[in-house]
Amino acid sequence: MVSLRTTAFATISIRTHKTEPQSHGKVGNFKPKRTYPSLETRSSDQKSLAIARILMVMEPRQGASSPSTLMLTSGASGRISALFSRHALKSLLLLIRAVVLLLLMPFRGRKRVVLVSANAAERSKDERSESSGGSNRKVGPVVRVPATALPWRRAASSLVEQEVAARRALAKKRVVQDGDETVVRDYSIFTTARGDALFTQSWRPVNGENRGLVILLHGLNEHSGRYSNFAKKLNANGFNVYGMDWIGHGGSDGLHAYVNSLDDAVFDLKSFIGRVLVENPGLPCFCFGHSTGASIILKAALDPKVEACISGIVLTSPAVGVQPSHSIYTILAPIVSLLLPRYQVGAANKKGSVVSRDPEELVAKYSDPLVYTGSIRVRTGYEILRIAAYLQQNLKQVRVPFLLLHGTADRVTDPDASLKLYEQASATDKTIRLLEGHLHDLLFEPEPEREAIMKEIIEWLNCRVER
């Protein structure tokens, strides 16, 4: 008995011809040159038998590997339908999931494990004793890993610790050996909620009344000590100045110029502002930031709590409109930053980029051991793109008073993005100055432009202190 199955196709369309066309080769039990009468000329029994024979041809043979249901389609549509069947899609998803899990396995739990050697533990203890006031926030638990576990990570961690120790020793030495009798310069170690030790320093005038506070935040690859001359000019006008080397920079913890998350730097700045205000109650507080440091300040100022406790911000060459050189990098950056976060893009930049028109300042910057002169690391670059994109979407939320200075010849950050910030910000007290022909490092441009820029910043601060 032949079972007629109609689930393999929705409709059987049979054309009737007097003779079958010739074909080459055999199909089932039919011979190629044999002709058959039309179905219209057959009896009902003959028609049933003919249909049964057609179905027998389409039925899979016993032991064959073909599926029990055969799709009758035209051209490639059958193959496409089979490719996107539920079973095929399920298999593909399982394969993708397995590959993703294999790629992510080395990175699982990386934020939960902290390698701490005996020297690092002693160093952290000493630094906490140096901290003046520190943070009231409790430091989270430290997970200690046996020395035999993960030897390659332990070796890498040891090298970073040695590098940090050398940078911190140099930063301390410069503070101690300043020798300016008109200024009291000091340093301290600020411990973050994550347990990282950040190098901070302060400049206080020996004589004169304290009228306000200025918190300095340096740009990418540099450190707060580069702004010592500017800090002393602020001291001469009655401002106490505090500088913080954000994570991975100057004398602070972390691989040099590597930033796992700029959100950490934003949170650290908020905590540091709180500490400075506690030490100086009743004084108006301002923030000064350059380049990426300006972006960190801007994002922190979007917090209503920070906005309420600062009187204004000064931004030079803010990294608000940073764009990758090619659009494909926007897609690749998140993936590569996850897989190879510390990878350096391009060859080492030993000569440094042209950020000032003063040759002496360029030599001083790129010969400074505390200034990073290598190529940017993937995660650091991605974090800069991420914070710039966030600020672009929240320019209207900027309500704190600000002074914005940007050189029109800047090739590191975009002066047009600064103009956009000025136009869209909701602040009622805002000022912008686009300096014709100036480059990126405005406070290190040649004289007399440098002196004029510093004077303009100080006048802006003085006006808001006297109000």
Q: Is residue 428 part of a domain?
A: yes
Q: What letter represents residue 142's amino acid?
A: V
Task: Note down the domain range covering 154.
Answer: 110-465
Q: Is residue 105 part of a domain?
A: no
Instruction: For residue 81, give both structure tokens.
Output: 């339908």
pTM value? 0.69
Q: Is residue 38 part of a domain?
A: no
Q: Is residue 98 part of a domain?
A: no
Q: Is residue 34 part of a domain?
A: no
Q: Is residue 146 part of a domain?
A: yes
Kindly report the CATH number assigned to the domain that includes residue 281. 3.40.50.1820
Q: Is residue 449 part of a domain?
A: yes
Q: For the chain, how many structural domains are there in total?
A: 1
The rounded distance, in Å, linking the Cα atoms of 443 and 224 is 13
Instruction: For residue 101, give both structure tokens.
Output: 């899990």
Q: What are phi and psi of 283, to 5 degrees?
A: -95, 140
Q: Is residue 399 part of a domain?
A: yes
The rounded distance, in Å, linking the Cα atoms of 124 and 106 is 28
Instruction: For residue 85, give both structure tokens.
Output: 């069947």
Instruction: For residue 369, give both structure tokens.
Output: 């051991």
The rounded distance, in Å, linking the Cα atoms of 307 and 331 is 34
pLDDT digit string (tens) for the chain, length 467 residues: 444 343 333 333 434 344 444 444 444 444 444 444 444 445 555 555 555 454 444 444 444 444 444 333 333 333 334 444 565 556 666 666 666 655 655 544 444 433 434 444 444 445 444 444 444 444 455 554 444 445 655 667 888 999 999 999 999 999 999 999 999 999 999 999 999 999 999 999 998 789 999 999 999 999 999 999 999 999 999 999 999 999 999 999 999 999 999 999 999 999 999 999 999 999 999 999 999 999 999 999 999 999 999 999 999 999 998 876 666 666 778 888 888 888 887 643 445 579 999 999 999 999 999 999 998 899 999 999 999 999 999 999 999 999 999 999 999 999 999 999 999 999 999 999 999 999 999 999 999 999 999 999 999 999 999 76
Question: How far is residue 137 CA from its own chain's centroid?
Answer: 26
Q: For 113-138, b where at least 16 C-beta lie within 10 A, e where not — what string?
A: ebbbeeebeebbeebeeebeebbeee
